[in-house]
Amino acid sequence: MKDCRDLFTFVKAYNSLTEILTDHRLAALGDAFINFAYSLAISTKRGQPSGAKVRGAVLAKAVRKARLREHMPSRISSHMMADAAEALIVYAWLQKHITLEECVAVLCKAESSVEGFTELLSKIKDRVTF
């Protein structure tokens, strides 16, 4: 088993935003992270513990509204756009571009989940540079 003192060494070096957005393995981890952050935001709003799953359509809309679609291949599905959001958000967290607490705060104050994820993706897009 790998030594866990070097946390997150499994994250490869990326040369572009497109590489992050199209990394399916990163998206798989991002799915769990997004659902956790969203569940924390819902719990905070409701004042009690709640579990929630973010629908892919919400993430795909947020990708378009955050103007990330232009960084992706021309022919992709809504599912692939949702995966892209998951990959980028967890990448930003792993690389310390954003904290879990900040993710939750952004999602908490938004009027809708699409608005919250659009804001979150826009913040991350501004912070991730190559």
For the chain, domains (ranges, CATH) are 17-127 (1.10.1520.20)
Do 97 and 37 touch, CB atoms closer than 8 A? no
Q: Summarize the confidence of residues 21-49 as an average pLDDT.
A: 97
Residue 101 has pLDDT above 80, yes or no: yes
Which pLDDT belongs to residue 3? 55
pTM across the whole model: 0.93
Which pLDDT belongs to residue 26? 96
Take residue 17 and report the two structure tokens written for it.
Answer: 């935003």
Measured in residues, the chain has a length of 130
- The count of other CB atoms within 10 Å of the CB of residue 9 is 10
Which pLDDT belongs to residue 2? 56
Distance from C-alpha of 73 to C-alpha of 86, rounded to nearest angstrom: 17
Q: Summarize the confidence of residues 99-106 as an average pLDDT.
A: 98
